Amino acid sequence: MTDFRKELAETASKLATPGKGILAADESTGTIGKKFASINVENTEENRRAYRELLFTTEHLENYISGVILYSETAKQSAKCGTKFIELLKKKGIVSGIKVDQGLKVLPGTNDETATMGLDTLDAMAKEYYGLGCRFAKWRAVLKISTTDGCPSEQAIQENAWGLARYGTICQANGLVPIIEPEILIDGPHSIEVSQKVTERVLASVVKALQENNIFWEGCLLKPNMVTPGSTSGVKATASEIAIRTVTALSRTIPPALVGVFFLSGGQSEEEASVNLNAMNRLEGIRRPWFLSFSYGRALQNTAVKTWAGKAENLAAAQAALLVRAKANGEAQLGKYQG
């Protein structure tokens, strides 16, 4: 078996370039359909291609973005000029990643909790997309908090932790740096204290499973949620509290050998996602040996997609909107975002 460790470590370090983060543009056809419906754009292959071309051809994107996560369809598409998207991104010095999970299925025996599908075909898929030029991958596991229903259950935590670990080592065996994404949903009325407790519990289980599967930590990235109050709690936490609780949860669970933590935005507003990341990178007094950055989907794209609205004449304005958020988050990675 090829030993990809040197390449994995190099890819992970390149993604963790100071002042940069990851653009998550890997919405499945169904998910991007919802985005398009909100702006009255038909969910056709050409519209999906045109929108992704808009994102990837944004001038100076590479100043703030080190990697882009692609959906399988996008990874095989080209810009109007005929250049494959992966090639176009490579020319800008941006690493392409690939979403390799096949979505969620209800986990029988739980209260509608889920497991992530796709392990059976993962080895072949990883080989194929490495061949196409991808160098990292994403697999999203989802857990929910419901204190009245006992969620997340130990069953769901174990299933998802083990699935993430199996995915992680299969990717590494094929030269792809795995982004380990155990997303604990923001939905619900729970407090920020509960969010922190659950985050620590889930991360500890994920780390144990990764260790038991012999993950190569130096070629591995984490994509967690930030610790926030539940979205229907009626409570707004300050950026400082979110930063303290999130970094505390990480410092109690994540090995220093892991190269980088790239947060998901998970329904935060664009501005909140930038301000909270900035607060973490300015935090003093809590040890944080990892590179802390962003791997945002909605918090990078929301204004851009609305500005585009499917019209060619809005292209430049939409690209400008994307660049505003990319720059803000790049500065937040350095702890220099002014808001």
Q: Which helix (H) or strand (E) holds 142?
A: strand 136-143
Is 181 an active-site residue?
yes
Among the candidate windows 35-43, 233-241, 295-303, 325-333, which touches ligand 13P by CB under 6 A?
Answer: 295-303
Q: At what angle do helices 122-131 and 154-173 cross, to 10 degrees?
A: 40
Binding mask 124-163 for ligand 13P (x = CB under 6 A): ----------------x-----------------------
CB-nearer residue toward ligand 13P: 230 or 297: 297
CB-nearer residue toward ligand 13P: 219 or 266: 266
Residue 110 as a binder of ligand 13P (CB under 6 A): the answer is no
CB atoms closer than 10 angstroms to residue 145: 22
Binding positions for ligand 13P, 5-24, rule CB under 6 A: 24
Look up residue 338 and give its two tokens: 């002014």
Least distance (Å) between residue 157 CB and ligand 13P = 18
The one catalytic residue in 223, 270, 272, 331 is: 223
Amino acid letter, 277 = L
Of the candidates 167, 175, 135, 166, which has an alpha carbon nearest to the alpha carbon of residue 1?
175
Binding positions for ligand 13P, 67-96, rule CB under 6 A: none
CB-nearer residue toward ligand 13P: 53 or 181: 181
Q: Which of 21, 219, 260, 297 binds ligand 13P (CB under 6 A)?
A: 297
The one catalytic residue in 27, 181, 270, 272 is: 181
Binding mask 234-253 for ligand 13P (x = CB under 6 A): --------------------
Dihedral Cα 235, 241, 247, 249, nearest 10 deg:
-50
Q: Which of 174, 265, 293, 307 binds ligand 13P (CB under 6 A)?
A: 265
Is 270 an active-site residue?
no
Q: At what angle do helices 270-282 and 298-308 cross, to 10 degrees?
A: 150
Query: Total number of residues binding ligand 13P (CB under 6 A)?
Result: 10
Strands 104-106 and 114-116: antiparallel
Least distance (Å) between residue 298 CB and ligand 13P = 3
Least distance (Å) between residue 273 CB and ligand 13P = 7
State CA 278 to chain mean position distance.
17
Q: Does residue 60 come out as left (phi exceeding 0), alpha (psi in the -120 to 50 range) or beta?
A: left
Backbone phi, then psi, for 253, in 5-degree steps? -130, -30
Binding positions for ligand 13P, 168-207, rule CB under 6 A: 181
Q: Which residue is nearest to ligand 13P (CB)?
A: 297
Of the candidates 40, 30, 34, 27, which has an alpha carbon nearest to the alpha carbon of residue 309?
40
Least distance (Å) between residue 164 CB and ligand 13P = 13
Of the candidates 100, 201, 213, 187, which has an alpha carbon nearest to the alpha carbon of residue 156?
201
User: How many degrees, rounded to 5, is the angle at CA 156 between CA 150 and CA 158?
Assistant: 120
Among the candidate windows 6-14, 41-49, 226-234, 294-302, which touches ligand 13P by CB under 6 A?
Answer: 294-302
**Residues at the site binding ligand 13P, with contacts judged by CB under 6 A:** 24, 140, 181, 264-266, 296-299
Q: Which residues are catalytic?
A: 181, 223
